[in-house]
Amino acid sequence: MDRLILALAVVAVAAVVAEVVRRRRAVDPPTQPRFEAPAQLDRSDFGGDAWLVAVFTSETCSTCADVVRKADVLRSDDVAVEVVTFQSRPDLHERYAIDAVPCLVIADADGVVHRAFLGPVTATDLWAAVANAREPGSIDTTGGCSDH
CATH code assigned at 92: 3.40.30.10
Give the least confident one: 9-13, 27-31, 99-103, 106-110: 27-31
| Residue 21 confidence (pLDDT) | 74
Is the pLDDT at 62 greater than 60, yes or no? yes
Structural domain includes residue 14: no
> 92-148, pLDDT tens digit by residue?
999 999 999 999 999 999 999 999 999 999 999 999 999 999 998 877 655 544 443
For the chain, the 3-state helix, strand and coil shares in percent, each to the nearest 5, are 35, 20, 45
Is the pLDDT at 22 greater than 90, yes or no? no
More confident residue, 93 or 10: 93
Is the pLDDT at 89 greater than 90, yes or no? yes
Is the pLDDT at 76 greater than 60, yes or no? yes
Number of domains in the chain: 1
Domain limits for position 67? 43-134
Structural domain includes residue 83: yes
Structural domain includes residue 53: yes
Contact assessment for residue 55 and residue 102, using Cβ atoms and an 8 Å cutoff: yes
Q: Say if residue 56 is exposed, middle or buried (CB neighbours under 10 Å; 0-12, 13-18, 19+).
A: buried
Percent of the chain residues topping a pLDDT of 70: 88
pTM: 0.72
- Residue 121's nearest CA partner among 82, 76, 81, 63 is 63
CA distances from 8 to 15, 19, 22 (A): 10, 17, 21
- Mean pLDDT value across the chain: 86
Structural domain includes residue 31: no
Residue type present at position 146? S
Structural domain includes residue 10: no
Structural domain includes residue 86: yes
